[in-house]
Structure 1
Amino acid sequence: MTLLTCSHTLASRALAMVVLCWVALFSQHVGAQTTYTLDDNVGSFRLQDSLAFLVDPDGKSNIDEILKRDRNRFSPASTARSLPLREGNSVWVRLSLARDAHSTAKWTLAIPLPYLDYAALYQPDGQGAWTRQVAGDTLPVDSWSRPALYADFKLDVPVEGAYDVYLELRNFKPTLMPLMIATESKRNSQRELEHLLLGGLFGALIMLVGVCAIHYLQSRSADDGWYTLYAAGMAVVVSCMTGLSGLWLWPQSPAWSNYTHFSMPILGLGATLIFVRHITSLDAGFPRLSQAVYGVAGFGIPIALLGVAIDRSVADVFNAVYLATCPLLLLVATIQTWRRGHAVGRWLTIAYTPNAVVTVYIGLQMLQLLPAWWQSRYLMVAAVALSVPLLQQALHLRARERREVQERADALPTQDALTGLLTRPLFDTQVELAIKRSRQNREPSAIVMVEVVNYSYLRESYGDAIAEQCLLRAAVKLHRVLRDVDPAGRVDTARFGLVLDGVASRQELTERMVRLVASGLIPLPGLRPEVTLQFHISCALLTEVVADKRTVLQELQDVLHGMSPRTRRPIRFLEPAPTMPAALPSKEDGNSDRAPLTPHSKP
């Protein structure tokens, strides 16, 4: 019994020693803090290891109170995880820095998050006090220590020894905190590159606004006016996401700057839904989808206002759901338009697919369904930059389609609705002008009447739709033998009239008409069973006949009436009117008109 008790005692002591050793090692690991060496050869790097942080629940303690009360309560946290920020609290981060022995450069610390509420950097001044630099969108940008797109601080690192600095951070929700350290020269280069890229992006956006404005000034159309406002609104949304709005548009309004970071992406997404719905004419092809898009877009307005009415962390959940779902509806609308055969749908799908993917990722990231990645907002900016030229192409196609529709509408009084040829009254006018030019200027011309002989058979056999399509194809074939300046008109159901200027001989005219007859005998593509067009043609050369503008078309139609449907001579000419030979005057008649000869007159 004694031996058993001793064995249990030894085992318990051994287990206790193991536990104590493990606790000691863990405590040593927890208490350890990474010291970051500032090397001029590296120039720029992001803090990748662990950070020592402390949560101040009420967010009211200053640096002296934190160090006096909680200096040893800092806990390690991975830089790959979000800091436990929320509305009303503060998170303090301690950084241990050491300058390399050969380092002489000046250093900076940047936090590339334009939407961060508040950030303050505390550094010892060497006299027992602390210097403070502040930034964040709850402060006027003019009051920042270094006004910039986001928090950008100057580091005063001593030449020798480790150096602890403290960051006080505030935000309304947990946030992944990227901390970027760089030399002053490297940071200036990065800042110049950022401004160059953003300048190019906003230049493209302003160009898009200008194109829309020019279209509006030319057309005075309300649609172009709304497109202009949409393009300008997207420029404002991008400026809010990148921090440019706080720096340039409203540097003295922190409340508005803080709110726009929260609401502008929602309003921009809703405006994009309305824009796509209108430019694709979604209500014409997909009325239910159009109503859904319109309703979801309108729902974005109350969601954008939630940040003012309720707690921002709760409103942020609604924002995340909206951002994660609306882009999918947007892609459905553009793809359906593309499938319907509209070229605008193809360009919009290509333009908005990168935006939709990044926006959905940001929404799922806000819902903590995907790992946090702070670069996602910059991917959104890149996607917007990619979409600008594609949107310009889509707007160009839309403007061209609308212009073509307007031109067709304006031409309705003068053109046949089916074939696009001149109506009968206007073609009669062209015939009169051709006859007038032939008489006054002796310009050679020909007037031609073309009939689709088998139109009645096609209509009875295949129906009105196929018959009308055959007439449309006949008009296309007529244009192949016409010049751009030669007028053509539809003078009857299946009859067309042509005026061919510059035609002086039957051979030249016959060659062109033979090509027309031969093209009609080629089966029309896309029709089953095969359908051919049989043309009968009557021609009047104004160099051969003296045409009467009131009767010449009727005479050509009479020639067509006299042709058999199976004739082997489908091309006929209007012959000159026969004239009777004049009688030669007799000698008596010829001398009777002469004065009588007198003896004194000469014969």
Structure 2
Amino acid sequence: MPGRSVLRLLVLLGWLLVGGALAQDQPAPIVLTPGAAAVSLGGAAESWIEAGRGRTIDEIDAAGPALPWQVRQPGQQDRLDQAALWVRFTVELRDSERWYFVVDSSGIDRVQLFHRGPGGRWVVEEAGDSRPVSEWPVPGRVPTFELARQGGPTTYWARIEHDRVDFAAPLLLHSQPQLLAMREREQFLFGAYFGVAMLLALVSVANALLWGDRNFAAYALYLILFTLGQAAYLGVGAQHLWDRWLDWNAQSTFLLPGLSAAAALWFVQVVTEPARFSRRLNLAVLALIGLLLAAQVLDTLVPSRATFGARLLLTSAALGLVAVLVGLVWRKGDDPDIRVIALGFLPVLVMAVFPILRGLNVIPNSIVTRYGLAIGAALEMPILFYALNLRASRRREAQQRATALPHTDALTGLANRRSLVQRLDAAMARARNQKRPCALLLVRVANAEALLGEHGRDTLDRALVVTASHLRRAATDIDLAARIGEREFALLVEGPTTPDLATARAQQLVASGLRPVQALPADVTLRLLVVITLLPDQAPDAEATLQWVQGALGGIRNDSRKQIRALNF
């Protein structure tokens, strides 16, 4: 008997010591005063993981200290597959300022907040993907609850369910001014981001349909899926787009980012065209796209942590393959726009690493894992759109030049003789009707033979192209510059003009030819001879007029000191 009494005394003393230690470790109540900064529950709350999710709040409250509560650490991560995380904290509100409990992450499966009301009955509120955002206690992008004011310390229990990815969302207490300021800032930034993305997607679709441009079609698909994926990941979709579609909301966070990864790889395959360099590399890209889609289907039909992890690993492989494709085309150097395209992909390639590592539970939750990909996309979108426009403009220019060959000169891009005659007929008719003259200037490169003999055909061709550029600069929007012979050009000044204005144009051309240009050797300048005539004249039609002026130009010696000659004034 005495031995048993001693044993009981030792057990009682042990319980007292353990209870005292637990009481010392238990966080003190959080005192919230007006103007206080946001409070993190890391180090200020207790947590415990319940296996099976079967206990009620009454059972949790009744168990009390018997449960293995532990002080929650900042940045703590918890695996909650088929389990529930209970968080307990005590708050004392002072003065009349409102405060809110915020689970600062979107896509949480279910969050419940419990506290006892004035009559001792439980007050239960719920948010998360388990119900529409419009039915949350405080609708928004992330689960938010207003703290009750009861005239003294109030203890709260938060119950959190979150499968497939470790739970690591920050648990915060915000005052009403802080919460409103944060939400206004988010709405502004997200509105600008998604507005620009939607605009670029619509323009890309229009370009794809209007020009039949496959690059823009692939970019539009990638941009639409990527933007929708970001809307799902950031909680904007559940808040504004599919509030009532609970099943879709639960799947979209995993489905849309996976589809956007496959679309991104296809877009890069279209842009870089790896089949030009390696048939095996092109097949590898197509195979990885197929694997990404298959993994996404499997992850949707049989959702689990394993299928989600496999999909993230395939996405990592896709990012690596994107870098290889862009680097390959860069090294080959056959695409003048690839450097701009590579610059556009760089922010997303870098920033996508962080959410992937977070999904694999390699790194903790942070602002970079939550918003890094959106920041990278905001940098990527305008750069890629600009690069695609450069490429499309270059290709359309080539197509337009090919289409315009019957009407233009192949070397200089100026109108040919046939086009000049047609325009000259119309200009002469208008001049007769308005009784106001127009002007025709014919130009010859007088030192063409010398350039050919001393520097070769390539330099002469460059000289003719430079002459054409001088005529373009001398022409206004309504004038026409043309090449009418091997070394002869014409400038039709269609608007009403005077002898002085026509002479000024001729002087401008002569002076332009005397200036050195980078396209020609340093010691080479152009000697241009110019004949001016005001129209209409006695010649009956445009062809006769052109032959008359050409005859006058042909009668001027190449070494003539007078480089400008007027025919009829």
Q: What TM-score comes out, normalization by structure 1 length?
A: 0.73
Given that 1:117 and 1:172 are in contact with CA atoms closer than 8 Å, whether structure 2 keeps it comes out as: no
Match of 2:414 among 391, 398, 421: 421
Q: Which residue of 1 aligns with 2:370?
A: 377
Cα deviation, residue 110, structure 1: 1.6
Match of 1:135 among 121, 127, 132: 127
Match of 1:251 among 204, 220, 243: 243
SS in 1 for 2:352: helix
| Matched AA of 1:304 | Q
* 1:76 and 2:66 correspond: no
Given that 2:531 and 2:567 are in contact with CA atoms closer than 8 Å, whether structure 1 keeps it comes out as: yes
Cα deviation, residue 252, structure 1: 4.0
Match of 2:487 among 488, 494, 498: 494
Deviates more, 1:384-393 or 1:462-471: 384-393
* Distance in 2 separating the partners of 1:341 and 1:223: 14
* Distance in 1 separating the partners of 2:45 and 2:218: 49
Q: Which residue of 2 aligns with 1:54?
A: 48
Given that 1:474 and 1:520 are in contact with CA atoms closer than 8 Å, whether structure 2 keeps it comes out as: yes
* Distance in 1 separating the partners of 2:344 and 2:415: 41
Deviates more, 1:318-327 or 1:264-273: 318-327
Cα deviation, residue 517, structure 1: 3.5
Deviation per CA, 1:476-533, whole angstroms, max 9, x where unpaired? 122344444332322222222333455665x775664354334324333144464333
| Matched AA of 1:79 | Q
Q: Which residue of 2 aligns with 1:3?
A: none
Q: Which residue of 1 aligns with 2:39?
A: 45
Given that 2:111 and 2:158 are in contact with CA atoms closer than 8 Å, whether structure 1 keeps it comes out as: no
Match of 1:283 among 242, 249, 273: 273
Distance 1:540 1:152, change over 3 A: closer
Distance 1:48 1:555, change over 3 A: same
SS in 1 for 2:484: strand
SS in 2 for 1:314: helix
Deviation per CA, 1:14-58, whole angstroms, max 9, x where unpaired? xxxxxxx9xx89993797121241313226322231643333333
| Matched AA of 2:68 | F
* Distance in 1 separating the partners of 2:274 and 2:447: 37
* Distance in 1 separating the partners of 2:217 and 2:47: 52
SS in 2 for 1:53: strand
Cα deviation, residue 313, structure 1: 1.9
Given that 2:416 and 2:483 are in contact with CA atoms closer than 8 Å, whether structure 1 keeps it comes out as: yes
Deviates more, 1:356-365 or 1:337-346: 337-346
Match of 1:359 among 348, 352, 358: 352
* 1:182 and 2:174 correspond: yes
Given that 2:114 and 2:156 are in contact with CA atoms closer than 8 Å, whether structure 1 keeps it comes out as: no
* Distance in 2 separating the partners of 1:443 and 1:109: 82
* Distance in 2 separating the partners of 1:188 and 1:529: 67
* 1:85 and 2:79 correspond: yes
For residues 124-523 of structure 1, the aligned pairs below 5 Å read 124-125=116-117, 130-139=122-131, 141=133, 147-156=139-148, 158-161=150-153, 163=155, 165-183=157-175, 187=179, 190-191=182-183, 193-209=185-201, 211-212=203-204, 230-275=222-267, 281-283=271-273, 291=282, 299-308=291-300, 312-322=304-314, 324=316, 326=318, 346=340, 353-373=346-366, 376-384=369-377, 408=401, 411-433=404-426, 443-455=436-448, 458-459=451-452, 462=455, 464-500=457-493, 505=499, 512-523=505-516
Given that 1:108 and 1:153 are in contact with CA atoms closer than 8 Å, whether structure 2 keeps it comes out as: yes
Larger Rg: 1
Distance 1:536 1:82, change over 3 A: same
Given that 1:545 and 1:575 are in contact with CA atoms closer than 8 Å, whether structure 2 keeps it comes out as: no
Cα deviation, residue 181, structure 1: 1.7
* Distance in 1 separating the partners of 2:351 and 2:20: 41
* Distance in 1 separating the partners of 2:23 and 2:392: 65
SS in 2 for 1:35: coil
* Distance in 2 separating the partners of 1:286 and 1:125: 71
Cα deviation, residue 234, structure 1: 4.0
Deviates more, 1:376-385 or 1:413-422: 376-385
Deviation per CA, 1:399-437, whole angstroms, max 9, x where unpaired? 766775665455443222322221221212234445556
Deviates more, 1:373-382 or 1:183-192: 183-192
Given that 1:327 and 1:356 are in contact with CA atoms closer than 8 Å, whether structure 2 keeps it comes out as: yes
* Distance in 2 separating the partners of 1:201 and 1:115: 20
Cα deviation, residue 264, structure 1: 1.7
* Distance in 1 separating the partners of 2:172 and 2:117: 22
SS in 1 for 2:273: helix
Given that 1:266 and 1:322 are in contact with CA atoms closer than 8 Å, whether structure 2 keeps it comes out as: no
For residues 19-34 of structure 1, the aligned pairs below 5 Å read 28=21, 32-34=25-27
Given that 1:124 and 1:131 are in contact with CA atoms closer than 8 Å, whether structure 2 keeps it comes out as: yes
Distance 1:361 1:270, change over 3 A: same
Distance 1:331 1:471, change over 3 A: farther
* Distance in 1 separating the partners of 2:256 and 2:235: 12
Distance 1:192 1:123, change over 3 A: same
Distance 1:196 1:573, change over 3 A: closer
SS in 2 for 1:301: helix
| Matched AA of 1:492 | G
Cα deviation, residue 360, structure 1: 1.9
SS in 2 for 1:54: strand
| Matched AA of 1:47 | L
Given that 1:85 and 1:91 are in contact with CA atoms closer than 8 Å, whether structure 2 keeps it comes out as: no
SS in 1 for 2:293: helix
5+ residue gaps, structure 1, are 1-20, 577-603
Given that 1:320 and 1:367 are in contact with CA atoms closer than 8 Å, whether structure 2 keeps it comes out as: yes
| Matched AA of 1:56 | E
Given that 1:97 and 1:157 are in contact with CA atoms closer than 8 Å, whether structure 2 keeps it comes out as: no
Distance 1:523 1:204, change over 3 A: closer
Cα deviation, residue 176, structure 1: 1.4
5+ residue gaps, structure 2, are 1-13
RMSD across aligned positions (CA)? 4.6
Q: Which residue of 1 aligns with 2:89?
A: 96
* Distance in 2 separating the partners of 1:82 and 1:306: 30
* 1:112 and 2:104 correspond: yes
Cα deviation, residue 473, structure 1: 0.8
SS in 2 for 1:251: coil
Given that 2:352 and 2:372 are in contact with CA atoms closer than 8 Å, whether structure 1 keeps it comes out as: no
Distance 1:432 1:160, change over 3 A: closer
Distance 1:295 1:70, change over 3 A: farther
Cα deviation, residue 179, structure 1: 0.7
Deviates more, 1:107-116 or 1:243-252: 243-252
SS in 1 for 2:42: coil
Cα deviation, residue 240, structure 1: 0.5
Deviates more, 1:549-558 or 1:109-118: 549-558
Cα deviation, residue 259, structure 1: 1.8
Distance 1:99 1:511, change over 3 A: closer
Given that 2:27 and 2:71 are in contact with CA atoms closer than 8 Å, whether structure 1 keeps it comes out as: no
Identity in percent: 24
| Matched AA of 2:466 | R
* Distance in 1 separating the partners of 2:532 and 2:377: 62
| Matched AA of 2:488 | R
| Matched AA of 2:86 | W
Cα deviation, residue 113, structure 1: 1.8
* Distance in 1 separating the partners of 2:534 and 2:378: 62
Count, aligned residues: 548
Given that 1:87 and 1:172 are in contact with CA atoms closer than 8 Å, whether structure 2 keeps it comes out as: yes
